[in-house]
């Protein structure tokens, strides 16, 4: 809860033991946890449990995944939850757009080594500041700002079409991160709109989808950058 109050996106990868109950996941979600991951280390229980050193760990992992499946059904069936979670998933790809092309962008510009690091850090640093700001606002005000921020966050990415110098690109990508503070609102809304007894399941599925879309964004935009230019990949992310 403290990390969430400071505008941080909190994540957890627990060991799959009986302590990880649906009720515990619900409580973690309400406390501000935004991402939860579970490891499955083998296709069969004996190998998985031997690796983890906890008998029954494989079955517990599958139970958590079944809860996630139930959460997916809730997301699909409830239009309000579905809209919020889909926007959250789409935003995940937007969040990593600049990460996918930071190194090739700096290399293409002939910038010094520190420039690639600064480009990589620009969006996450901006996102931390944006989340901190949005988290301090009343929920009603957060909701009013949701779509304006989401739309505005695309503008710095589209501006990359001009292939600005690295210093300006750093400023644009940081601004993109700040404007993505609306993701704090999406996470809060997904919990508030979900019945209490289903929050843990919906939270688990929402987090899994967020991570999955982030990976798709990294791989997909990296491939686009290879075939076109890094700037074109960033612009594509902003346009989509």
Asked if the model's pLDDT at residue 1 lies above 60, the reply is: no
CA separation for the pair 53, 168 (Å, rounded): 51
pLDDT at 32: 65
Q: Which residues pair with 182 in a beta bridge?
A: none
pLDDT at 9: 62
Most confident of the ranges 8-22, 28-42, 99-113: 99-113
pLDDT at 176: 94
**Collapsing DSSP states into helix, strand and coil, what is residue 188?**
helix
Q: What is the pLDDT of residues 49-97, one digit of tens each?
A: 888 888 888 888 887 777 666 666 666 677 777 888 888 888 887 788 8
Rounded mean pLDDT of 199-207?
Answer: 73
| Terminal alpha carbon distance of the chain | 33
Q: pLDDT band at 5, cuts 50/70/90?
A: low
Residues 6 or more apart whose CB falls under 8 angstroms from that of 108 comprise 229, 230
Cβ–Cβ under 8 Å, residues 86 and 94: no
pLDDT at 69: 66
Asked if the model's pLDDT at residue 201 lies above 90, the reply is: no
Q: What is the pLDDT of residues 221-233, one digit of tens each?
A: 889 988 999 999 9
> Among 75, 134, 89, 99, which residue's Cα sits nearest to residue 240?
89
pLDDT at 126: 93
Cβ–Cβ under 8 Å, residues 203 and 186: no
């Amino acid at each position: 809860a403290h990390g969430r109050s400071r505008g941080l996106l909190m994540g957890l990868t627990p060991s799959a033991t009986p302590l990880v109950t649906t009720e515990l996941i619900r409580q973690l979600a309400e406390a501000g946890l935004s991402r939860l991951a579970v490891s499955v280390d083998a296709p069969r229980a004996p190998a998985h449990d031997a690796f983890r050193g906890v008998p029954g760990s494989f079955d517990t992992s599958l139970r958590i995944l079944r809860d996630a499946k139930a959460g997916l059904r809730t997301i699909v069936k409830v239009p309000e939850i579905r809209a919020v979670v889909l926007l959250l998933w789409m935003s995940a790809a937007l969040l990593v757009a600049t990460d996918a092309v930071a190194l090739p962008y700096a290399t293409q510009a002939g910038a010094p080594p520190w420039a690639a690091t600064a480009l990589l850090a620009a969006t996450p640093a901006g996102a931390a500041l944006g989340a901190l700001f949005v988290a301090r606002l009343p929920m009603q005000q957060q909701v009013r700002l949701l779509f304006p921020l989401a739309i505005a966050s695309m503008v710095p990415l589209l501006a990359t079409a001009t292939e600005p110098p690295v210093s300006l690109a750093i400023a644009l990508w940081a601004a993109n991160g700040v404007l993505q503070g609306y993701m704090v609102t999406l996470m809060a809304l997904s919990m508030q709109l979900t019945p209490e007894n289903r929050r843990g399941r919906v939270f688990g599925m929402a987090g899994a989808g967020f991570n999955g879309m982030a990976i798709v964004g990294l791989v997909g935009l990296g491939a686009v950058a290879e075939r076109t230019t890094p700037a074109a990949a960033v612009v594509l992310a902003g346009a989509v």
